Structure 1
Amino acid sequence: MKKSVNQVLSKPLLIVFLLILFLTLLAGPLFVPFDPLHTDMTNRLQPVSFQHLLGTDHLGRDIFSRLLTGARATVGTAFAAIFISICLGVPIGLISGFFGGKLDRITMRLIDAVMAFPEYIVAIVLSGLLGPGLMNLILAVVTVKWVSYARLVRSTVFSEKQRDYIALAKLAGLKPLSILKKHLTPHILGHVSVLMTLDIGKTVLMIAALSYIGLGAQPPYPEWGAMLNEGRTYFLNAPLLMIVPGLAIMLIVFISNLYGDLLRDRFDVKNKKGVS
């Protein structure tokens, strides 16, 4: 089964899908057929048609236009949160794992403290304290996500620095910064890539869930989780209001998990736990 999945993922179809996804995030809102914020009560809850490819919602807004625009709010926010988490967690993990000592003990206790609670609970509490909005949502997600990258990188560096080539590099007079940059950083790239890819789906789910309960993007701005919430009341009469954003979220999570498995097999990355 794993081999067949990898064969599917290795095909150009996946590359095409990823290309479409990035084009949708970057340029999709520029080519939407209708203003995603424009309301028209005379066209509310319209079915699928040539004019409205996915119908209209309870306020007469074009669902297809809102779906494309909402991709930037949901997936774009997830990418932003993961990027910031990597920029924060990777250097902390590198420094902690390489130098060890008191700094490493303090870092690990901080990481353990954050990871002692479920990610969703911490994100909900922080989002509630900071207030609704995408910027506050990014901050809440970064707070719970950076620790995973720091712990993974720290574990990898802690293992690699025991090897002979690191000892030889030190004997050759290389400075710690050069050793981190030339010898250790290449070893963590595969691990970070795998975790990042798997995190895309998880982060999209988290952002959509928080927006669903009103802690993310605020109306009338379209966001997939918020669109799910808006469509609850009309599910029996207009199921596409929930089905469309729900399928979009599911597709992103599905591709993220499959592609993450492919990268894990390709880089031969095994699950690691940080050494306390």
Structure 2
Amino acid sequence: MINGFRITKPGILLLIGLFFITIIIAPYIAPFDPTDVKMGDRLKPISLEHFFGTDHLGRDVFSRILAGAQTTVGTSFLVLAISLLIGVPIGLVSGFVGGRLDRFLMRFVDAFMAFPDYIVAIILSGLLGPGIFNLVFAIVMVKWIGYARLARSTVLTEKQRDYILIAKVNGVGPMNILRRHMIPHVLGNVMVLATLDAGKIILMIASLSYIGLGAQPPIPEWGAMLNEAKAFFYNAPHLMLIPGLSIMVIVLIFNLVGDYLRDHYDVKNQNGGK
């Protein structure tokens, strides 16, 4: 629930379905080429021909918003996927094996957590230079840590359960314990964190692109579109309002989905608070 609004299962499926369908078919429903420059059409207002008007280079803003969704959101999914592939296995192994390996990995993680995510991402992006791939690398370096710590804490908790001790007494091997008992418990928590984190990653990608460290022209990206439009805010405020609202709506959708998943995987909630 978010501010008194509760999303239902049909609602969550509808949100996810509409979102992914829009992202997939974006190139086919865009009325114009998002990179096509037409100086004769620059700064046109909102109309039936150009639903969101045109920018300072005469490019259709509606088409760029659709293409920018693939860039911004697609990049966030790539960051999430890589972060999960790095962080979850490290957390699983660290928590399950324990000992010196656990202490070594956690000291490495603590070193990254000593600084705020945005600061580290900005520093890495600045050192590597602007570009989508450098941006992905920089954000992954600060995001995999949370998944490693979450997986580790979940494994440490489950290791103390009676059923794990019984499985060990019965001769169940470590790999089978991880596969059959640890991973299912970790996945639920990771899904919640990943969904909530997606909105934060989108904001991070957009903000870094806004300051010139992310997507470079003429690639359409919502944060870069905000940066390009700031010089024309008084004459054409919609050029900033539309990508800004797009970012806000997408982040809100991910927060609603994450809120639903958090309630769904809340054991106390499912058991009536017992």
Shared fold, TM over 0.5? yes
Alignment map for 1:1-276 (pairs within 5 Å): 4-6=4-6, 9-10=7-8, 12-268=10-266
Distance 1:188 1:17 in 2: 25
Deviation at 1:4, TM superposition (A): 4.5
Distance 2:169 2:175 in 1: 15
Three-state SS of the structure 2 residue aligned to 1:98 is helix
Q: Tell me the alpha carbon deviations over residues 198-255 of structure 1, each in whole angstroms, 9 at most, x when there is no partner.
A: 0010000000000000111000111000000000000111111100100010011112
Distance 1:109 1:94 in 2: 16
Residue pair 2:15, 2:253 contacting (<8 A) in 1 also: no
Residue pair 1:191, 1:269 contacting (<8 A) in 2 also: no
Compared with structure 1, are the counterparts of its residues 74 and 248 closer, same or farther at alpha carbon in structure 2 (3 Å cutoff)?
same
Q: Tell me the alpha carbon deviations over residues 132-185 of structure 1, each in whole angstroms, 9 at most, x when there is no partner.
A: 111111111110000000000100100100111111111111111110000111
Residue pair 1:211, 1:226 contacting (<8 A) in 2 also: yes
Distance 1:101 1:232 in 2: 53
Which segment drifts farther, 220-229 or 30-39?
A: 30-39
Residue pair 2:2, 2:256 contacting (<8 A) in 1 also: no
Report the residue type matching 1:186 in the other structure. Answer: P
The alignment's TM-score, normalised by the length of structure 2, stands at: 0.94
Q: Which runs of 5+ in 1 are unaligned?
A: 271-276
Report the residue type matching 2:108 in the other structure. Answer: L
Deviation at 1:32, TM superposition (A): 1.1
Distance 2:265 2:44 in 1: 48
Three-state SS of the structure 2 residue aligned to 1:194 is helix
Identity %: 60
Report the residue type matching 1:240 in the other structure. Answer: H
Q: Which runs of 5+ in 2 are unaligned?
A: 269-274
Deviation at 1:11, TM superposition (A): 5.5
Distance 1:69 1:126 in 2: 26
Which segment drifts farther, 36-45 or 18-27?
A: 18-27
Report the residue type matching 1:214 in the other structure. Answer: G
Which segment drifts farther, 220-229 or 167-176?
A: 167-176
Distance 1:68 1:76 in 2: 12
Distance 2:253 2:199 in 1: 8
Report the residue type matching 1:161 in the other structure. Answer: K
Residue pair 1:207, 1:225 contacting (<8 A) in 2 also: yes
Deviation at 1:50, TM superposition (A): 1.1
Q: Tell me the alpha carbon deviations over residues 41-66 of structure 1, each in whole angstroms, 9 at most, x when there is no partner.
A: 11111111111111100100000000
Distance 1:171 1:41 in 2: 75
Q: Tell me the alpha carbon deviations over residues 78-114 of structure 1, each in whole angstroms, 9 at most, x when there is no partner.
A: 0110111001100000000001000000111111111
Deviation at 1:119, TM superposition (A): 0.2
Deviation at 1:265, TM superposition (A): 1.5
The alignment's TM-score, normalised by the length of structure 1, stands at: 0.94
